[in-house]
């Protein structure tokens, strides 16, 4: 199982930007970011096919969030621009074999990092 270590996150005002990073111990086929707000279900945010670089985003973040990876393809980055208060959540990095935004497709999970956006 791939080990994942997230970093980044924090607090920012509405309209601001933050970046998250996720370092993987191996080379999973797919990596993704999910987020969860207290009392709500886990929500898929963005996913990348690690080898091919293809990405997909939830409609709520498309055009504002951007996935990228380093040259070794072991670190995933999520650049979040134009942040809104409803982006506030715990963000989790995930790795798996199917590149979609379904929780069941991912077997490895990071510990989570908090993003808070104030109005």
Per-residue pLDDT tens digits for 4-43: 999 999 999 999 999 999 999 989 999 999 999 988 999 9
95 strand-pairing partners: 31, 108
Task: Pull the structure tokens for residue 2.
Answer: 């791939």
Q: How many distinct helices (H) and strands (E) make up the chain?
A: 0, 11
C-beta separation of 79 from 65 below 8 A: yes
The predicted-structure confidence for 50-108, as pLDDT tens digits, reads as follows 999 999 999 999 999 999 999 888 999 999 999 999 999 999 999 999 999 999 999 99
Residue 42, Cβ density class (10 Å: 0-12 exposed, 13-18 middle, ≥19 buried) = middle
- CA–CA distance, 106 with 1 (Å, rounded to integer): 11
């Amino acid at each position: 199982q791939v080990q994942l270590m997230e970093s980044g996150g924090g607090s920012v005002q509405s309209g601001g930007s933050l970046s998250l990073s996720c370092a993987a111990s191996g080379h999973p086929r797919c990596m993704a970011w999910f987020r969860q707000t207290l009392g709500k279900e886990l929500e898929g945010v963005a996913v990348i096919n690690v080898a091919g670089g293809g990405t997909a985003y939830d409609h709520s973040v498309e055009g504002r969030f951007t996935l990228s990876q380093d040259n070794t393809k072991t670190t995933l980055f999520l650049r979040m621009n134009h942040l809104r208060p409803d982006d506030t959540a715990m963000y989790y990095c995930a790795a798996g074999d199917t590149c979609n935004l379904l929780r069941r497709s991912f077997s490895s999970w990071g510990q989570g990092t908090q993003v808070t956006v104030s109005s």
